[in-house]
Amino acid sequence: MVGAFQDGDGRPTLGNLDALTSDAALSALKGSLVLSATTALIGAALGALLAYLVVSLPSQSLLRRTTLAISGVLAQFGGVVLAFAWIATIGSVGIVTKAMSDVLGVDIYGSGWLFDLPGLVVVYAYFQIPLMVIVFAPAFEGLRPQWREAAVNLGASTWDYWRHVALPLLTPAFLGALLLLFANAFAAYATAAVLVSQGQPIVPLLIRQAITSEVLLGQANVGFALALEMIVVVTIVMVAYNLLLKRTSRWMR
């Protein structure tokens, strides 16, 4: 953190923070926020749906246990391996790309979108959705059947129950999970590092450039400043997450 306020010779400076307002840094921050928000929303929506379907199965159901187990594995399946898995699947000579063009004559590869921000969205969703399933399934399980019975006894329809009981209960947990997913995508690096080599569209890649560039020298302190910027964003997200968590736990005892 100290390094963010020093120049190459260790003298104090605010110049690095200035560098954060450069076009490249701002567009990387924007890219990071857009990527994290998009994949968090996609992951949260699809993950919540999947969690609901899974939890409504009987607790001994094989399908339920398998889905949860696979989610547990896939939520951690990030990094280099994941990137290569996708390249092998929908890269220019990927299995699916080949099959689609041979059988249907469709070119899903286009001009290499997999290796740009849209590609990152697809690939990140692959670990965001399962993560949502594991963090959100307990919230569904926390909905006690008694509450539904009570609502029905009082004359509520299914819609009334969801509208007035279940959704308000689930909302804090949902928003909390959304923030967790956001932070997860925001901090991910290795997957993006393998897929995207040009233009550094997100902050972690811009930090890589600042530290390892052999064209622009002496940028290490700008890297520290960028890291500080990331810490600030993640701190905001985590504080919000904790507030929501408190609110959720009040209901879910």
| Cβ distance to other proteins smaller for residue 122 or 240 | 122
Which segment (34-42, 205-213, 226-234, 242-250) binds other proteins by CB under 8 A? 205-213
Count the neighbouring beta carbons within 10 Å of the beta carbon of residue 140.
17
Q: Which residue has the tokens 């080599």?
A: 197
Q: Is 201 in the site for other proteins (CB under 8 A)?
A: yes
Q: Is 24 in the site for other proteins (CB under 8 A)?
A: yes
Mark 159-178 with x for binding to other proteins (rule: CB under 8 A) and - for no binding. Answer: --------------------
Q: Is 126 in the site for other proteins (CB under 8 A)?
A: no
CB of 73 to other proteins, least distance (A): 27
Interface with other proteins (CB under 8 A), residue from 9, 23, 145, 155:
23
Rounded CA-CA distance 172/246 in Å is 9
Q: Is 2 in the site for other proteins (CB under 8 A)?
A: no
Count of positions on this chain that bind other proteins (CB under 8 A): 31
Is residue 56 classed as helix, strand or coil in its secondary structure? coil
Rounded CA-CA distance 113/125 in Å is 15
| Cβ distance to other proteins smaller for residue 91 or 130 | 91
Q: Is 197 in the site for other proteins (CB under 8 A)?
A: yes
Q: Is 110 in the site for other proteins (CB under 8 A)?
A: yes
In the 8-state DSSP scheme, what is residue 125? H
Rounded CA-CA distance 135/141 in Å is 11
Interface with other proteins (CB under 8 A), residue from 128, 200, 221, 248:
200
Q: Is 115 in the site for other proteins (CB under 8 A)?
A: yes
Give burial (CB, 10 Å; 0-12/13-18/19+) of 187: middle
Rounded CA-CA distance 233/33 in Å is 9
Q: Backbone dihedral region of 64: left (phi > 0), alpha (psi from -120 to 50 degrees) or beta?
A: alpha
| Cβ distance to other proteins smaller for residue 7 or 116 | 116
**Under a CB-based contact definition with an 8 Å cutoff, are residues 114 and 61 in contact?**
no
**Under a CB-based contact definition with an 8 Å cutoff, are residues 141 and 55 in contact?**
yes
Interface with other proteins (CB under 8 A), residue from 40, 87, 123, 132:
87
| Cβ distance to other proteins smaller for residue 48 or 192 | 192
Rounded CA-CA distance 119/39 in Å is 11
Chain positions contacting other proteins, by CB under 8 A: 22-24, 27-28, 87, 91-93, 109-112, 115-116, 196-201, 208-209, 211-218
